[in-house]
Structure 1
Amino acid sequence: MGQVLSSNLSYKQIDDRDVFMLIGTVREGIKYGLFQNIADKSPFSTTEWSNFLHLSERTFQRYKKDRRTFDPLHSEKILEITLVYNKGVEVFGDKANFDAWLSAKNVALGGIKPKELLDSTFGIGLLKDELTRIEHGVLA
């Protein structure tokens, strides 16, 4: 296993096929610049990201100002959200359609908006399961 450099990790490359790269990136921490690149391609606001990562908006702004590196727990959550987002775009075939699905109340998910589940690993797992069902045409 070679050295993993998170600065070489691009938004498009993030998938679960290279688990060791993901583990290395989490351990190293995601630099704010890479996070900004990911955030710019996502439909989520800074407020939503701070909620997903359980960071106050003030702390989040300090990360931005100081160009800090996220700790492993926050880095892992950023990657988990990115993976589920990439999967959703792939399943829906279109970013706009998936973004709309994320923001619409969903009966299969207890009447909440899917993006409201991105603040916990359990919620992210639930979204992955739902995307798999949609992908295979099994709608509950």
Structure 2
Amino acid sequence: MASSKKLQEPEIAYLSGTDTGLLQLIESVRRGLSFQHFKKLMDSYSFSLAEWAHMLHVSDRTLQRLRNEKKSLDPVSSERVLEVHLLYLQGAEVFGSAANFDLWMQTPSLALGGVVPKSLLDTGFGISLIKDELTRIEHGVLA
């Protein structure tokens, strides 16, 4: 069984590349991210509450209720939040800054069929597609 140590926000960036780190991420997802932790991540990105609600397939009202009641996100929502967070860390590394990556995420991508990458964040397949494109960009394979 994985460690019962609660995963702290700064650790997320560093643990995703190791087996132990992935197991800790899994445990964090299973417990559900606290709204406070989610809020810290939410404030790091240029998504509105409505955009987060869309990505997480919940209503704005549900997120507001979680905030007011100081509850945790469910495992599915927690996983999506961490997937988006890890994607943004990778994107910032590939593009040299979070601002550059954010601009790319808001611009229609020819490689993605003219779709705005940000619009793909509501599914795991969309996130995978963006990760694949980031890998191609990182290695200079532009299509």
Which TM-score bucket, shorter chain as reference?
Answer: over 0.9
Q: 1:90 aligns with which of 83, 93, 118?
A: 93
Deviation (angstroms), 1:13: 4.0
Map 1:52-67; keep pairs closer than 5 Å: 52-67=55-70
* Corresponding residue SS for 1:91: helix
Which residue in the other structure is 1:110 paired with?
113
1:100 and 1:75 mapped to 2: Cα distance?
25
CA contact (8 A) 1:105 1:114 kept: yes
Which residue in the other structure is 2:16 paired with?
15
Q: Tell me, which stretches of 5 or more residues in structure 1 are unaligned?
A: none
Q: 1:26 aligns with which of 16, 29, 33?
A: 29
2:26 and 2:62 mapped to 1: Cα distance?
25
CA RMSD of aligned residues (A): 1.3
Deviations 1:86-129 (A, max 9, x none): 10001001111111000011111111110100000000000000
Which residue in the other structure is 1:35 paired with?
38
Change in Cα spacing, 1:95 to 1:9, as seen in structure 2 (3 Å) is closer
Q: Tell me, which stretches of 5 or more residues in structure 2 are unaligned?
A: none
Deviation (angstroms), 1:14: 5.7
Which residue in the other structure is 1:2 paired with?
3
| TM-score, structure 1 normalization | 0.93
2:59 and 2:75 mapped to 1: Cα distance?
17
Deviations 1:69-98 (A, max 9, x none): 011111111111111111000100111111
Deviant stretches of 4+, over 6 Å? none
Give me the identity figure in percent. 45
CA contact (8 A) 1:16 1:83 kept: no
* Corresponding residue SS for 1:62: helix
